[in-house]
Amino acid sequence: MDRRKFIKKISATTSGAVMLGRFPVKLLAGNFDLKKIAAASNNENVLIFIQMHGGNDALNTLIPVSQYNEYYSFRPNIAIPDHGSRKFINVDQTLALQNQAGLHPDMTGFKALYDQGKATIIQNVGYDNMNLSHFRGRDIVFMGVGGNDDTSGVRSGWMGRFLNYEYPGYPEAYPTTEMQDPIAIELGNAMSLAFHREQGIPIGLNVWSPEHFYNLISGVGVDNANISFPDGHAGDELRYLWQFENMSNEYAERLRDVYNQGSNSSEVYPETYPFSCPDNFRNNPLSGQLQLIARLLKGGIKTRIFLCRMGGFDTHGNQVEEYDSTLGGHAALLYHLSSAIKAFQNDLATLGLEDKVLTMTFTEFGRRVHSNASYGTDHGTATPVFLFGKGLQGGIVGTNPDLNDLQNGNLKYAIDYRQVYTSVVLDWFGASEGAMQATGFDSWIDKKIDLFGTTGLHPKGNENLQFEIYPNPVKDFANVEVFLLNPSEIYLRLYDLNGRLLNVLYQNKLNFGQTHFTVHFPPLPTGEYILILQSEKTKITKRILKHE
């Protein structure tokens, strides 16, 4: 294949998605950042991000019960009623009155999950000087920075930085026999900054079926030896694309096989909103995405991060029906979110997968407290975050917003979104101290929120397995201290920065408690190497400098 044809074909396949079932799926295996968050995590937990694109209206999603009069006075044309057959649903009447919150009446699925202890609400999430531009606001949250931070030099997402620390060697070292799958999958046709690293470009393939996907990329990259790349940035980008094209053959075949061998339970995922709404809000955009994820997980996929999207939350006008504030486009979206996640949780439970999956919503900002004359709301600030899963402690974190203490007509945030993400990365994925530093969340560890029950990790991180090695840098010998909460077979392996296994430094069955031993390093050139200590259920990654 000549270069002109190669470049033309590669350009047509970089925006992309595989079509599984009815939904386009973007493979982020070529994306160095998200690739790592899952591959390098210390357990098999899975994270589902659901982006509520457009800025969800917090106050019509979650009404402060004790401040209902104030709430109604600020938005009488769109307020959810406190009486009648479609009044708000009190989430938890066991709380003190000032902390009680009312769900939109179409969020009955959410209420059911909350009552089962499988849903958590985090109130008033935001950051200083929130940016109210859709694109910039979304990028700030993905970057893991604050509104007052200088982001001129930031080109990566927080997940990208975490992954870059934890899993060196991509793409050359992947896929492996241990990780055959793309570590992250983005459903839809857009690529998010969250998945970028500091250097390198994310990549996916845009085709309409697994079979077409496999055939297409099997036809690209046949003649590696005859392809040359120009110097400079353009050449680097082409080389990166070419490299991933060759790798994608393995990912496509694996993904197709996993999809075919997977299945869903008999759980029915809702497809349409049952009440009045504009036609473009009628169909559920989330059900099929979550149903596909459940099927892939049942098929044995080891992908750890999934990103789903729902649009339509930019409700400047016609947020509700003029004749009934409980109906309309926003009501339909909240129904779709709540009912699809409820079906997903039921499906996971039947499939035996419920313990390993956490689902979390996020949106770039909330809406203003005052409604406008168009039966809508304009861009605002703080907004709740919802989490779903069996591993959660459940309940409501934080207090209702104070409608008598606004900031330029907006809700004041109380919890920084990085407190939430720090909790997920540290306690759900078990990130190491070094990984938290690389991610940029190490300064937030003391401010994180304890969200998880017995299936999450220890609130201080991974206490089931710990280890220290010294001296570092090392020459010939090093001392290792290991702490185990439960007896386990232990492996200490040495890798180079390309992910190649160099040596098994230690292997033994250890009892619980602390163990000390010495390891001998093989003769190696001076440089940086990777150590991975792995037990039967957990692994920890550290970097070490070797000198001769």
Q: Which of 392, 285, 270, 269 is nearest to 329 (CA)?
A: 285
Average pLDDT value for residue range 440-463: 67
Q: In terms of C-beta distances under 8 Å and separation of at least 24 residues, what long-range contacts does 91-94 make, across chains too?
A: 91/62, 91/121, 91/396, 92/395, 92/396
Instruction: Look at residues 420, 447, 474 and tell me which one is the last residue of a structural domain.
Output: 447
The phi, psi pair for 287, rounded to 5°, reads -55, -50
Q: How far does the chain reach from its first CA to its final CA, in angstroms?
A: 46
The predicted pLDDT at position 75 comes to 98
Which range has the top average pLDDT, 362-371, 450-459, 480-489? 362-371
Note whether 427 and 513 are same-domain residues: no
Q: What is the pLDDT of residues 375-390, one digit of tens each?
A: 999 999 999 999 999 9
Asked whether residue 439 falls in the same domain as residue 521, the answer is no
Give me the mean pLDDT over the 392-405 stretch.
93
| Confidence (pLDDT) at 211 | 38
Which has more confidence, 441 or 12?
441
In whole angstroms, give the CA distance from residue 5 to residue 72.
Answer: 62
| Local confidence band at 200 (pLDDT 50, 70, 90 cut-offs) | low
Does the pLDDT of residue 359 top 90, yes or no?
yes
Q: How confident is the model at residue 438 (pLDDT cuts 50, 70, 90)?
A: confident
Residues 498 and 400 in one domain: no
Least confident window among 164-168, 282-286, 353-357, 422-426: 164-168
Does one domain contain both 267 and 174?
A: yes
Same domain, 123 and 267: yes
With bands split at pLDDT 50, 70 and 90, how would you rate the model's confidence at 319?
very high
Calculated CA dihedral for residues 72, 73, 77, 80, nearest 10 degrees: 0
pLDDT digit string, tens, across residues 273-307: 999 999 999 999 999 889 988 988 999 988 877 88
The one-character DSSP state at 521 is P
Same domain, 388 and 494: no
Domain stops at, among 389, 418, 447? 447
Give a yes or no: residue 413 inside a domain: yes
Looking at residue 21, its pLDDT comes to: 53
- In degrees and rounded to multiples of 5, residue 83 shows phi and psi of -150, 165
Long-range pairs of 456-462 with CB within 8 A, sequence gap ≥ 24: 456/391, 456/392, 456/427, 456/428, 457/42, 457/43, 457/426, 457/427, 457/428, 457/430, 458/427, 459/427, 461/426, 461/427, 461/430, 461/431, 461/432, 461/433, 462/42, 462/430, 462/432, 462/538, 462/540
pLDDT at position 5: 39
Over residues 219-258, the pLDDT tens digits come to 444 444 455 666 766 666 566 555 555 555 566 777 778 8
- Residue 71 has what pLDDT? 98
Domain that holds residue 238: 3-447
Mapped onto helix, strand or coil, the DSSP state of residue 19 is strand
Mean pLDDT of the chain: 80
Statement to judge: residues 103 and 49 lie in one domain: yes
Largest CA distance in the chain: 79
The answer to whether 451 and 396 are in contact (CB under 8 A) is no
Tell me, yes or no, whether 385 and 477 share the same domain. no
Residue 19 maps to a domain: yes
Would you say residue 455 lies in a domain? no
Partner residues linked to 111 by β-bridges = none
In what helix (H) or strand (E) does residue 532 lie, and over which residues does it extend?
A: strand 527-534
pTM to 2 decimals?
Answer: 0.75
Average pLDDT over residues 426-435: 83
- Rounded Cα distance, 350 and 364, in Å: 33
**Secondary structure, 3-state, 38-96:** HHCCCCCCEEEEEEECCCCCHHHHEEEHHHHHHHHHHCCCCCCCCCCCCCCEECCCCCC
Phi, psi of 265 (to 5 degrees): -80, -170
Residues 39 and 119 grouped into a single domain: yes
34, pLDDT greater than 60: no
Quote the number of domains for the chain. Answer: 2
Residue type, 9: K
DSSP per-residue letters across 442-505: GGGGGG----B-TTS-BTTB--SEEEEEESSSBSSEEEEEEEESS-EEEEEEEE-TT--EEEEE
Residue 230 lies in a domain: yes
Query: DSSP class of residue 226?
Result: G
531: domain CATH number?
2.60.40.2550
**504 with 371, same domain?**
no
Residue 310 pairs in a beta bridge with 52
For the chain, percent of residues with pLDDT exceeding 70: 75
Nearest to 26 by CA among 256, 190, 197, 154: 190
Q: Is residue 96 part of a domain?
A: yes
Q: Is residue 452 a part of any domain in this protein?
A: no
Q: Which 3 state secondary structure label does DSSP give 438?
A: helix
Residue that is last in its domain, among 401, 419, 447:
447
pLDDT at 320: 98
Note whether residue 498 is domain-resident. yes
pLDDT tens, 58-100? 999 999 999 999 999 999 999 999 999 999 999 998 888 999 9
pLDDT confidence of residue 309 = 86
On whether both 483 and 437 belong to a single domain, the answer is no
* 433 and 489 in a common domain: no
Rounded distance between C-alpha atoms, residue 42 and residue 37, angstroms:
10
Mean pLDDT of 36-41: 42
Q: Which of 200-209, 306-315, 469-478 has the lowest mean pLDDT?
A: 200-209
Report if residue 457 sits inside a domain.
no
- pLDDT of 379 reads 97
